[in-house]
Structure 1
Amino acid sequence: MKSAFERWKSKSYALTVPLRVVALEGSVPPVWIREFLKSQGKRVRFRPEFRRSLKDIFHELSDPLKKEKINPKSAAAADLVTLGDSWLNFGISKGLIEPIEAAEDQDWFRGLSDKWKDWSDLWRPELAGKISMVDSPREIVGAVLKCMGASYNTTNIDSQVVGGKHAVLQQLELLVQQVRLFDSQQYLKAFRAGDVWVAVGWSSDVLPAAKTMTKVSVIVPKSGASLWADFWAIPTTSRLVTDQIGGRVRGPSPLMEQWIEFCLQPERALPFKEEIIAGASPLSLKPSVEEPQERSSKGRPKLETNLVANIPPAEILSKCELLEPLSDDALSDYQWLMRNLQKPSQSIMNRLRFSISSAVATFRSRMQSKAV
């Protein structure tokens, strides 16, 4: 027995610590992966995976609760997942994600900005039929609310907007008459082709496209724009009976906190500031006095914009709003607007109506038998 014990002690075992994250495609700069591995040493088994859309990640989180079993390769088996702000309230209310234990005690949490705890041009007569826009009701109705001096995050239109829902509907109908195309996939294609003169969309789409074009400006309205974010979240798996959840058996990887803190280090903002990848670090929401820098534009036209390192100047940033989940009252208001919107093109109304309810309908259809 003593001899066997000595042989056992003489064996060397490789101790590795796993961390599996599932993120939106294109949201994590490749240099982050290399630098994180370098910072953590050889014992880290880091497995980043990517999905084409946030909807794909959300479906992977909700499927196991419907099927009562989990696929080790799904997002639900990851230590951390990217979850967009529009899906956050559903993820929380249906128990798809769990809180980060003792987050308030972590340095990365204490360092976050408080942000995290002129649209009227679109109505100009000469732009009638010359605008393309994403078919997101949060952006469409949000532009109307912002133009009327209200907030993107209005929780009850009748009590918070002058004139209530009927006034908002009137402005919305005028905007719809101005817009030639509502299509989140094709709005920039129409702009490139010259079919429209103005494209209203997300910076992650607009900035890369605009850099390849001439005589194009990217402008954030002086009255402010929407700020949207993707979050790292922990999938809830405690209700599932399984003996393998990715690389973990007793909860999330102990490297989870290191990854989040790594993502929020000031150095991580460099790929965004150098415009290698569209977007910005949460740390960039703190007002900056940084001036635009001349960058090498060899082979590419210079882009005119009021953005500085993908961030609006301080006076505009202070008027921008981080999108919050829609309250039940706000969701009801949006659905009322879509039902009462009048426009000769029925397809536009159908797309808008579908878009506002797609997240709710998709989730409810998958979770109806498992609602908690």
Structure 2
Amino acid sequence: MDPEGDVWAAPYRWGCMVIAYKTNNFQKYKLAPIEDWADLWRPDLAGRISMVDSPREVVGAVLKYMGASYNANDINLEVNGGRDAVKHNLALLAKQVRLFDSENYLKAFGVGDVWVAVGWSSDIIPVAKRMSNVAVVVPKSGASLWADLWAIPGASRIQTSQIGGRVRGPSPLIHQWIEFCLQSARALPFKQEVIPGASPPLLQGHSANVSLELTKGRPRLDTNLIDGAPPPNILERCEFLEPLSNSAVSDYHWLLDSIQKPGNGLIHTVRQYISSVVSFSG
């Protein structure tokens, strides 16, 4: 909550970054199951990984692998080995990943071009449930968290003659709708896996029991997620992404310039992202 008591938005679901992998391929080639970020650097998975093309998630995975925070303000001071170590591990990861593409990383996973997919739970869980022999895990050292929010735009009340000269604003029932979405009973669709993600009350440890009849006969996803959320011991290591500090922006620039990757992949996206951050900050 804001120290002044202001509420800017209310979450209606949340989730995290996860790693999906094809258990049949892992069993066939006697590969150890994936448990943490470090597994992405295993030689036996080289060229078998697809991942979202998000600078914060890619660099963040490297930082978590190195025992640091997604929100490191100064990589050189806060990460063991500093920027050189991060650059080294980022270059190794880039060699491991066959495809950095937020639009097509799950297509490559679905057709079997890769055996491992790294992305947001809201993307991966629906796809994994339609496939067989797929496990979905939250890395045990923690992952980034995301949230989808209800918000009322600040410019939602507009005076115009084109609609009869009346001031049109949000529905007077909007606050009741938001309160309805935050009720603990609304956790049932998430617990029944009807909606990918987790219910907001789960962030505070609140839960709603689900009748066994409601889940009887349903195939269960092979995952360490509980009701769409990381288990408590992993959740305490997870983080929402915070805005980058000026020092972190500088570190991202430096990391970007250290990687040579042609085309409109990770490098192109990082350049666009850093430019937007700098423009917004200015």
Sort the TM-score into its range (normalised by shorter chain). Answer: 0.7 to 0.9
How far 1:154 sits from its partner (Å)?
A: 1.2
Percent same amino acid at aligned positions? 57
Unaligned runs of 5+ in 2: 12-35
Q: Which residue of 2 aligns with 1:243?
A: 160
Matched, 1:206 2:124: yes
Q: Which residue of 1 aligns with 2:273?
A: 356
Tell me if structure 1 keeps the 8 A contact 2:158–2:168.
no
Q: Which has the larger radius of gyration?
A: 1
How far 1:322 sits from its partner (Å)?
A: 1.5
Show CA shifts across 1:148-194 (max 9, x none).
Answer: 11111112212211222221111111100100000011111111111
Tell me if structure 2 keeps the 8 A contact 1:339–1:353.
no
Tell me if structure 2 keeps the 8 A contact 1:134–1:183.
yes
Unaligned runs of 5+ in 1: 1-98, 110-117, 365-370
Aligned letter for 1:218?
A: V
Tell me if structure 2 keeps the 8 A contact 1:119–1:143.
yes
**Larger relative CO (CA 8 A, sep 6+): 1 or 2?**
2
Tell me if structure 2 keeps the 8 A contact 1:191–1:197.
yes
- Give the distance between the partners of 1:198 and 1:248, measured in 2 at CA: 54
Q: Which residue of 2 aligns with 1:12?
A: none
Q: Classify 1:134/1:289 alpha carbon distance in 2 versus 1 (closer, same or farther; 3 Å).
A: same
- Give the distance between the partners of 1:331 and 1:244, measured in 2 at CA: 45
Aligned letter for 1:280?
A: A
Matched residue SS, 1:236: coil
Show CA shifts across 1:306-358 (max 9, x none).
Answer: 11111111111111112222233222322221122134x45434334245337
Q: TM-score, normalised by structure 2?
A: 0.76
Aligned letter for 2:215?
A: R
Matched residue SS, 1:154: coil
Show CA shifts across 1:240-261 (max 9, x none).
Answer: 9843799983866543432322
Aligned letter for 1:295?
A: T
Q: Which residue of 2 aligns with 1:307?
A: 225
Q: Classify 1:198/1:288 alpha carbon distance in 2 versus 1 (closer, same or farther; 3 Å).
A: farther
Q: Which residue of 1 aligns with 2:55?
A: 137
Tell me if structure 1 keeps the 8 A contact 2:187–2:198.
yes
Tell me if structure 2 keeps the 8 A contact 1:288–1:314.
no
Show CA shifts across 1:178-237 (max 9, x none).
Answer: 000000111111111111111001101100000111111001111011111123333233
Q: Which residue of 2 aligns with 1:295?
A: 215
Show CA shifts across 1:66-107 (max 9, x none).
Answer: xxxxxxxxxxxxxxxxxxxxxxxxxxxxxxxxx9x9647xxx
Of the three residues 273, 278, 283, the one matched with 2:196 is: 278
How far 1:126 sits from its partner (Å)?
A: 0.5
Q: Classify 1:207/1:359 alpha carbon distance in 2 versus 1 (closer, same or farther; 3 Å).
A: farther
Tell me if structure 1 keeps the 8 A contact 2:100–2:266.
no
Alignment of structure 1 residues 155-234 onto 2, 5 Å = 155-234=73-152
Tell me if structure 1 keeps the 8 A contact 2:188–2:208.
no
C-alpha root-mean-square deviation of aligned residues, in Å? Answer: 3.4
How far 1:295 sits from its partner (Å)?
A: 3.2
Q: Classify 1:242/1:290 alpha carbon distance in 2 versus 1 (closer, same or farther; 3 Å).
A: closer
Tell me if structure 1 keeps the 8 A contact 2:75–2:83.
yes
- Give the distance between the partners of 1:303 and 1:268, measured in 2 at CA: 21
- Give the distance between the partners of 2:192 and 2:166, measured in 1 at CA: 36
Tell me if structure 2 keeps the 8 A contact 1:338–1:352.
no
Matched residue SS, 2:152: strand
Tell me if structure 2 keeps the 8 A contact 1:227–1:322.
yes
Q: Classify 1:347/1:243 alpha carbon distance in 2 versus 1 (closer, same or farther; 3 Å).
A: closer
Tell me if structure 2 keeps the 8 A contact 1:137–1:355.
no
